[in-house]
Amino acid sequence: MFETLRVESDGPLGRLTLDRPQKLNPLSPTTLRELAAAARWFDEQADVKVVVVSGAGRVFSAGADLASFSGPQERSTRDSADLGREMADALERMRALSIAAIRGWCVGGAVVLAAACDLRLAAADARFSIPEVDLGIPLAWGGIPRLIREIGPALTRELVLTGRPFDAAEAKAAGFLNRVVPEDRLDDEVKALADSLAAKAGHALFSTKRHINAVTDQMLGMARSWSDADGLVTAFADEECGRARRAYLQGRRR
């Protein structure tokens, strides 16, 4: 069913794994479409209560596929620019609870992917950054309201505007992570949490998730994230943004 993901279910437990480790699990347009499709697939699996979201190999995800920035112009159309929001919305609306298991780097759009999960556990070596502004584009995909929901407006401003990296300890202190564990314990800790949740009554789990999402949606106006794609399209067409993007990408290749 999927080219860039591994999607599995075993009774009440599901796994959704970004599966391009040789490329550091980038979020290409194909991957974004497949993530949304996987969330809908899990909705059809009546027994699944908990889905673990992770990346194959040594990182969670290096974020949006940087190669797409230098690809054909049609990748800058509004529909393509809106794929990330559709992905995050689909994952957030998924009936089952989702647990992000984060190791290594979690960059840009991958931070939005993690923020769309219900719970987040990270290895102590996990590192985060949100470099979109350095790329000459706004953070989109509903990332701003999701970060405000999790860490508040002041730290959201700082991390998004500066693009500075931050580690798992800071992410935990800010409220973005539920738990930080030793690197060699991440899989075991995530499995234990998933098993404990899967043992609970499904209706109570699903109702609680919907209630929390409904309240935070009203607080933050998540529906306005639909317009994020317009900001991306404008940035792709803006000359100064283009210079910033090319300079960033050139620096990454050195």
For residue 254, the Cα-to-chain-centroid distance in whole angstroms is 27
- Asked if residue 71 has pLDDT above 70, the reply is no
Provide the pLDDT for residue 226: 75
Residue 151 lies in a domain: yes
The answer to whether 133 touches 196, Cβ cutoff 8 Å, is no
**pLDDT tier, 224 (very low <50, low <70, confident <90, very high otherwise):** confident
Residue 57 lies in a domain: yes
Q: How many domains does the chain have?
A: 1
Overall average pLDDT of the 22-31 stretch: 95
Provide the pLDDT for residue 254: 62
Parallel, antiparallel, or unpaired: how do β-strands 127-129 and 166-167 relate?
antiparallel
Least confident of 13-27, 56-70, 149-163: 56-70
3-state class of 121 per DSSP?
strand
Residue 249 lies in a domain: no
Residue 122 lies in a domain: yes
Residue 236 lies in a domain: no
Burial 226-235 (b: 16+ CB within 10 A, else e): eebbeebbeb
Residue 217 lies in a domain: no
**What's the pTM?**
0.94
The answer to whether 190 touches 119, Cβ cutoff 8 Å, is no
- Asked if residue 84 has pLDDT above 90, the reply is yes
Provide the pLDDT for residue 87: 96
Provide the pLDDT for residue 65: 86
State the DSSP code for 27: B
Burial 19-33 (b: 16+ CB within 10 A, else e): bbeeebbbbbbebbb
Provide the pLDDT for residue 148: 95
**pLDDT tier, 253 (very low <50, low <70, confident <90, very high otherwise):** low
Of residues 77 and 246, more confidently modeled: 246
Domain with 153 in it: 5-185
Of residues 80 and 51, more confidently modeled: 51
Burial 153-179 (b: 16+ CB within 10 A, else e): eebbeebbeebeebebeebbebebbee
Overall average pLDDT of the 135-146 stretch: 94
Q: What is the CATH number of the domain that holds 157?
A: 3.90.226.10
Residue 110 lies in a domain: yes
- Asked if residue 115 has pLDDT above 60, the reply is yes
Provide the pLDDT for residue 206: 97
- Asked if residue 163 has pLDDT above 80, the reply is yes
Provide the pLDDT for residue 233: 87
For tokens 């190669």, the residue is: 67
Compute the distance between CA of residue 119 and CA of residue 17 in angstroms, rounded to an integer: 16
Residue 143 lies in a domain: yes
**pLDDT tier, 186 (very low <50, low <70, confident <90, very high otherwise):** very high
State the chain's mean pLDDT as an integer: 93
